[in-house]
Structure 1
Amino acid sequence: MELLTALYALCFLYFTYYIYNLVLQKRNQCCYMLAYECYKATEDRKLHTELCASIILRNKNLGLEEYRFLLQTIVNSGIGEDTYAPNNVILGKEECPDLIDSLSEMDDIFFDTLDNLFAKSGISPQEIDILVVNVSLLSAVPSLTARVINRYKMRSNIKAFNLSGMGCSASLIAIDLVQHLFKTHNNVFAIVVSTESLGANWYCGKEKSMMLSNCLFRSGGCSMLFTNNKALKQQAILRLKCMVRTHYGSNDEAFECCIQMEDENGYRGFRLTKKLVKSAAQSFIINLRVLGPKMLPLWEIMRYLVVSYRFRKFKSSSSQAAAAVPNLKTGAEHFCIHPGGKAVIDGVGKSLGLTDYDLEPARMTLHRFGNTSAGGLWYVLGYMEAKKRLKKGDRIIMISFGAGFKCNNCVWEVMKDMEDGNVWEDCIDNYPPDSLVNPFMEKYGWINDEHLSFIRMDDYRMFS
């Protein structure tokens, strides 16, 4: 009887929520994406095996043990040979970067993606009403938003916001900010620019937990154009349906699992601990408790509640897995997972019961572009589009994690068939490749030979 009463109450709440959403949509709270442009660096900045090895060998603080750790990490990272590094790292200035190096890195990404965005959309910079730039590891004066405004001579009454320290999930935080501004500003255009400053934050020490960031993070970024003008609905490619942000920073383990710091020798970097995957899982569960009812059909919510109730009542081990999470595939056709690392992608896939097809966009993005921080989600979206997977009416769930610890997820509706090749155009036919194994082991596997432990790394060239 209690279960039946709960189901009736749930139906009533769901119907009330549905009517409430319809009212909100009529109050100009829609958020449409008109276009997006991802950044692709020049060919001379590609981190192929030999260049990557030469950069590693420049670090005189590393010994044989550290080299073996790096070899194992790179081989198992899921990252290929076509990712891009900051220019100052390519030029050997990673230990002593100048401010101009960081600003030049940002300018390249900002202006390349924005130039293409304005050209594709036909919207001029002077029409932009809201500008949000998110770069976690660089706070400049004047702000990075000011650099964009100055370059494009934008209007003096533009609403500009500069976000820093928000981590890999900053892109969705910026979009959430835009969505809230849309509630009080009618028929406006907004731009979000998401990237990361890597050149000045390349770690030059030997702490293993801090060396991981050099193996995972790569140059990249994205600029996006949004509007709440319903007259432009037919031009939109995506419509934001719902967004849920979860901050798990009150948990000490989660707060410290990915953090910028200095090691004992004063080298600054980004530490990634083994607690990251656990923190991501816990914050994800909290997020789904709120996101699930917003995106899932009523029958799936009812099914999940019944299964959960039976599990709690009978403590059935067979239904424990089913009670863990609802079936998100009933609320979304596509899964756009932040390509933060192989462990995170596989962990999300396992917890949600996703197939290799579902995880393919995130895995291929990690392989081709690496972890591009806040811009990574849009390379995953670009892969789906280049593969012609996105059809009108499809729903996409975006799943992102970031330092703090944060889990920010949202659901988009595809407004038209999407078939642009974007940054994947010249290589999409080669994906997925036959193997994702990095060729480092083939060339540098001799480092693991215990009989060669007496060799100094200065003698490396005799083996290359």
Structure 2
Amino acid sequence: MTEPKPNTPLILPSTSRNLPDFKKSVKLKYVKLGYHHLITHGMYVFITPLVFVIAVQLSTFSLQDLYDLWEHLQYNLISVIICSALLVFLSTVYFVTRPSPVYLVNFSCYKPEESRKCTRRMFVDQSRLTGIFTEENLAFQRKILERSGLGDSTYLPEAVLNIPPNLSMKEARKEAEDVMYGAIDELFAKTAVKTKDIGILVVNYSLFNPTPSLSAMIINHYKLRGNIVSYNFGGMGCSAGLISIALAKDLLQVYPNSYALVVSMENITLNWYFGNDRSKLISNCLF
């Protein structure tokens, strides 16, 4: 008897091993960008060559050819109906697929009371009174302030200006309400837009994300309509403002004949750093 051979699995050579790694050879972000432009402007990409071909063909026609074509259309009802239907179809496709225009009605920036104004010297003096920062780090913060572009007309929340600072969730929520409602009230006064006309609400706050959300606070405070489309962004940094505008623009394509309210802000009360790590002190002097 022959000794039975052990069962060995049959492994077929994978064809993928012979293919190039497209993730390394191709910049996928450029492929995605090209695909986005192709889909967005697809109608123009396909219609432009067609119009060019028709224009070239018509350029070869003589006056007699055009007269014969007109005579043919006059006495051929089917051709007239087909051409008219095609023209109506193309016009409908154009008006349906083209993006609706989006306009900026107005904007508003919140300006606090004069009592919250904090000069650079006042900032350094109050930081010294906390007894937390070393003299070296106070000098470091003073240097950053001079180069940051913040002037002597910068404002801080009451909780940070207090000695000692009163950092709490209540004070952080109060700061958020002051900024949100102050800017929105001024905006409504400028535009005379009714709160019930707001169909889209986009709020972005990077570091402060309480429950209930800030978008819910705005909806309840202004009694916005029940079917409003609301978004609340958090933790997205400085890019959240641009993303919010882009999102509002896209949503207005889906919900035309409406108003979008975009609220972009930041909260300082609970995000002030009290320590001597210089890498973290920079944020105190920039925002």
Under TM normalisation by the shorter chain, which class is it? 0.5 to 0.7
Q: Residue deviations 1:188-207, cap 9 Å, x none?
A: 11100000011111110111
Per-residue displacement from partner, 1:240-263 (whole Å, max 9, x unpaired)? xxxxxxxxxxxxxxxxxxxxxxxx
Tell me the SS of whatever aligns to 1:53.
helix
Which residue of structure 1 lines up, in the alignment, with residue 35 of structure 2? none
User: Cα distance 1:65–1:175, how it changes in 2: closer, same or farther (>3 A)?
Assistant: same
Matched, 1:170 2:195: no
Structure 1 unaligned residues grouped into runs of 5+: 1-12, 218-464
Q: Deviations over 1:258-298 (max 9, x none)?
A: xxxxxxxxxxxxxxxxxxxxxxxxxxxxxxxxxxxxxxxxx
Identify the structure with bigger relative contact order (alpha carbons < 8 Å, sequence gap 6+).
1
Which residue does the alignment assign to 2:146?
Answer: 75
Matched, 1:125 2:195: yes
1:19 aligns with 2:89: no
Give the conservation status (yes or no) of the 8 Å contact 2:130–2:164. no
Give how far 1:33 is off: 0.8
Determine if the alignment matches structure 1 residue 42 to structure 2 residue 67: no
Indicate which of 48, 52, 57 corresponds to 2:128.
Answer: 57
C-alpha distance in structure 2 between counterparts of 1:100 and 1:24, whole Å? 51
Which structure is higher in strand share? 1
> Alpha-carbon deviation of 1:110?
0.9
Mapping 1:23-422, distance limit 5 Å: 27-94=98-165, 96-217=166-287
Classify 1:56/1:122 alpha carbon distance in 2 versus 1 (closer, same or farther; 3 Å).
same
Tell me which amino acid in the other structure corresponds to 1:118. Answer: F
User: Amino acid of the residue matched to residue 103 of structure 1?
Assistant: R
In structure 2, distance between residues paired with 1:19 and 1:58: 65
Contact 2:202–2:263 (CA under 8 A) maintained in structure 1: yes
Verify the 8 A CA contact 1:29 1:179 in the aligned structure 2: no
Counterpart residue type for residue 171 of structure 2: D
CA displacement at 1:185 relative to structure 2: 1.4
Report the Cα offset of residue 164 of structure 1.
0.5
Given the superposition, is the C-alpha separation of residues 118 and 133 from structure 1 closer, same or farther in structure 2, using an over 3 Å criterion?
same
- Alignment TM-score, normalising by the size of structure 2: 0.65
* Shift, 1:115, TM fit: 0.9
What is the CA–CA distance in structure 2 between the aligned matches of 1:112 and 1:53, rounded to whole Å? 28
RMSD of aligned Cα (Å): 2.3
42-51 or 112-121: bigger deviation: 42-51
Is the 2:201–2:229 contact (alpha carbons within 8 Å) kept by the matching residues of 1?
A: yes
> Offset of 1:75 from its aligned partner?
2.3
| 4+ residue runs over 6 A deviation | none
> Is the CA contact (8 Å cut-off) linking 2:199 and 2:227 kept in structure 1?
yes
**Structure 2 CA distance for aligned equivalents of residues 190 and 114 of structure 1:** 12
| Contact 2:168–2:269 under 8 Å retained in 1 | no
Distance 1:123 1:93 in 2: 42
* One-letter amino acid of the structure 2 residue matched with residue 19 of structure 1: Y
**1-structure distance, mates of 2:138, 2:277:** 12
- C-alpha displacement at 1:166, in angstroms? 1.1
Report the Cα offset of residue 172 of structure 1. Answer: 1.0
As a proportion of its length, which structure holds more helix?
A: 2
Contact 2:117–2:154 (CA<8 Å) still a contact in 1? yes
1:148, CA displacement in angstroms?
0.6
Does the CA-based 8 Å contact 2:130-2:163 persist in structure 1? no
User: AA paired with 1:31?
Assistant: V
2-side partners of 1:18 and 1:141: how far apart? 45
Match of 1:33, SS state, is: coil
Shift of 1:29: 3.5
Structure-1-length-normalised TM-score: 0.41
- Matched to 2:160, the amino acid is V
Aligned residue identity for 1:185:
Y
**TM-superposed deviation, 1:26:** 5.7
